[in-house]
A and B are shown apart, each in its own frame.
Chain A
């Protein structure tokens, strides 16, 4: 080795980075493919961007979007409530409650959402009417199943029972993640079971419950498009009704995809703030919003090599 080189002061040494030829080739190929896609998007007449613009804020599309959001929120709220109850039953010392909860999760999580949806919509094939009859008083009221089981109600029942199966497992895992010493300390302070659950266990479990629940909400948003099959007037159904008449299929599907992506983006931002709220006792700087969005859409560099 050259003498002068070995004796050079350390700050004079330059670092020559390793050349990642494979990375360059991969990047080049990706750029070419991206270019081709953009060219196709811009020039292929089937995409018909002016039509997309025309329908983006079309009243029936907006109404459909509203219906989709209403469905998602209603179902998710119900699923969280039912799921939490099932999770608590699953963790209870009672064998019967425990077995019931397990069976619930097994069935409603296992049976395909589409089948459950069609089943509830066709409930009148099994039960024609509901009536309340009291001894000595007689029948108080009778309602026909078909009158109650509107497509919207069927969709809410079917999908919230289905989703609750997933939520139950998420909540249970969250509760189990809380150290048993917390319950013991609370018990020694004279707090009862319900108080401990509400004030100690669940708030701590939230840190583990929120991220998967955010994923479930995003999933559910898209799953609600199944309801078109029982003619609930949601976003996809609204688009289908239009292109059934005008045959502008692709532009309308782009409109639908745009709105789904838009809502998912909003949900991801909301999830970020909720996670930060429940992680505040950790005090490590929460990931920045940009970071979260990047993670949500998997662009940019996701994982740093260790």
Chain B
């Protein structure tokens, strides 16, 4: 039995699950930031996460690709623990090489773009495919050009991040994540640092991705995007999932008073 199938049987993970969380906890020192998060993101679906500042949305995303270690619970990506291997009922921390391989399959897009500032857009896109995946330079460049075209920036291949607008930088950052052929893409408030008129161009790219069948977990304050693109909506508050549901229904008719209050602020 593969470890994936074993994990799925053991934890009751649906077969088509890409990201699966059960009772995920995370503490920084004495402060418990995540207090048992449950989530299932089926392959090819989009989960949108909303919630007030400090509710633990970023922390949860960072746990998914093991930028933060979880303190408890089960968190599987494509049926596997990212930072561990389960053997004989124990979780063994995986070595660095394996961790890096698994992380390479999980794309992440940051609020502050985090493009490598000493590299051009093209160099940003080919760096990890060449250095991590061992792709040839020619192949990586062909792929990078195709991706830049896809996000509408083929003219900016040789521009440095400083020469790009925020919206353009974020689109390059999305293309950079896509260059690794990730199984799932995590977005941490990808449009929050943008001027209002630049938000649209990034959302268009994300919507296109969702329609092409990419599995996505999106932390966002763009309720319109969540309603139209999301397959499920999660409202987090104080480190727990306060309410979840089908986006249209939940936005139109929130059950919890906390959700109602939060939505009234962002709508």
Name A's B-contacting residues (CB within 8 A).
Answer: 179, 181-182, 184-193, 195, 199-200, 203-204, 278, 280-283
Q: Mark B86-107, 1 if CB is under 8 A from A, else 0.
A: 0000000000110011111111
Residue of B whose beta carbon sits closest to that of A204: B118
Are A189 and B119 interface neighbours, CB within 8 A?
A: no
Write out the residue numbers on chain B whose beta carbons fall within 8 Å of the beta carbon of A193. 96
**Residues of B154-168 whose CB lies within 8 A of A:** 160-163
- How far, in whole Å, are A127 and B161 apart by their CA atoms in the complex? 56
Q: How far is the CA of A283 from the CA of B115 in the complex (A)?
A: 16
Q: CB distance A186 to B116 under 8 Å?
A: yes
- In addition to A190-B104, A204-B116, 5 A-B residue pairs with Cβ atoms within 8 Å of each other are A181-B110, A185-B108, A185-B173, A199-B131, A204-B117
Q: Shortest CB–CB separation between residue A210 and chain B, in angstroms?
A: 13
Question: What is the minimal beta-carbon distance from A105 to any residue of chain B, in angstroms?
Answer: 27
Least Cβ distance of B194 to chain A in Å? Answer: 16
Is there an interface contact between A192 and B128, defined as CB atoms closer than 8 Å? no
- Chain B nearest CB, measured from A181 CB (Å): 4
CA distance A203 to B161 in the complex (A): 15
Among B104, B117, B118, which residue has the most Cβ atoms of chain A within 10 A?
B118
Q: Mark B58-69, 1 if CB is under 8 A from A, else 0.
A: 000000010100
Instruction: State in angstroms the CA–CA spacing of A283 and B120 once bound together.
Output: 12
Q: B107, B110, B163, B176: which contacts A283 (Cβ < 8 A)?
A: B163
Q: How far is the CA of A186 from the CA of B161 in the complex (A)?
A: 15
**Contact (Cβ within 8 A) B114 A184:** yes
B162 near A282 (CB under 8 angstroms)? yes
Which residues does chain B contribute within 8 Å of A186, judged by CB atoms?
116, 128
A195/B131 contact (C-beta < 8 A), A185-B110, A190-B100, A281-B160 known? yes
Question: What are 10 pairs between A and B in contact, CB < 8 Å?
Answer: A182-B117, A184-B114, A187-B67, A188-B103, A189-B103, A191-B132, A192-B97, A192-B100, A281-B119, A283-B160
Contact A191 B128 (CB under 8 A): yes
Q: Decide: B128 and A182 in contact? CB cutoff 8 A.
A: no
- Cα separation A280 to B118 with both chains bound (whole Å): 8
Residue of A179, A188, A200 with most chain B CB atoms under a 10 A cut-off: A188
Contacts of B116 in A (CB 8 A): 182, 185-186, 200, 204
Give B163's nearest chain A residue, CB to CB: A283
Q: Determine the chain B residues whose CB is within 8 A of the CB of A189 once the complex forms.
A: 103-104, 127-128, 132, 176-177, 180
Which size class do B's interface residues fall under?
A: 20 to 34
* CB atoms of B96 and A192 under 8 A apart: yes
Chain B residues with Cβ below 8 Å from A282 are 162
Q: B-side interface residues toward A, CB under 8 Å?
A: 65, 67, 96-97, 100-108, 110, 112, 114-119, 127-128, 131-132, 160-163, 173, 176-177, 180
A266 to B78, CA, bound (A): 59
A204 to B131 alpha-carbon distance, docked (Å) = 18
Contact B107 A191 (CB under 8 A): no
Q: Is the CB of A188 within 8 A of B117?
A: no
Please measure, in the bound complex, the distance between the C-alpha atom of A115 and the C-alpha atom of B116, giving whole angstroms: 44
Given contacts A191-B131, A281-B160, whether A203 and B112 have CB atoms under 8 Å apart is: no
B103 contacts A190, C-beta separation under 8 Å: yes
Q: Which chain B residues lie closer than 8 Å to A199 at the CB level?
A: 127, 131
Given the known interface contacts A193-B96, A283-B160, the answer about A187 and B118 at a Cβ–Cβ threshold of 8 Å is no
Q: Which residues of A contact B173 (CB under 8 A)?
A: 185
Min Cβ gap A266→B in Å is 27
Once A182-B117, A203-B118 are accepted as A-B contacts, the answer to whether A188 and B106 lie under 8 Å apart by CB is: yes
Chain B residue with the shortest CB-CB distance to A207: B118
Say yes or no: B162 contacts A281, CB within 8 Å.
yes
CA of A200 to CA of B115 in the docked complex: distance in angstroms? 10
Distance between A185 CB and nearest chain B CB, rounded to angstroms = 4
Query: Which residue of chain B is the closest to A181 with respect to CB atoms?
Result: B114
Q: How far is the CA of A193 from the CA of B99 in the complex (A)?
A: 12
Q: In whole Å, how far is A195's beta carbon from the nearest beta carbon of chain B? A: 6
CB B53 to nearest CB in A, in angstroms, measures 18
Question: Is the Cβ of A182 less than 8 Å from the Cβ of B119?
Answer: no
Q: A193-B96, A199-B127, A199-B131 are in contact. Are A187 and B160 (CB under 8 A)?
A: no
Contacts of B128 in A (CB 8 A): 186, 189-191
Q: Which residue of chain A is the closest to B186 with respect to CB atoms? A: A188
Closest-by-CB residue of A relative to B117 is: A281
Query: A181, B112: Cβ atoms under 8 Å?
Result: yes
- Set of chain B residues within 8 Å of A181, measured between Cβ atoms: 110, 112, 114
Residues of A within 8 A of B177 (CB): 188-189
Q: How far is the CB of A9 from chain B (nearest CB, A)?
A: 42
A184, B162: Cβ atoms closer than 8 Å: no
Alpha-carbon separation in the docked complex, A190 to B119 (Å): 18
B114 partner residues in chain A, CB cutoff 8 A: 179, 181-182, 184-185
> Quick check: B118 and A184 within 8 Å, CB to CB?
no
When distances are taken between beta carbons in the complex, the residues of chain B under 8 Å from A191 are: 100, 128, 131-132
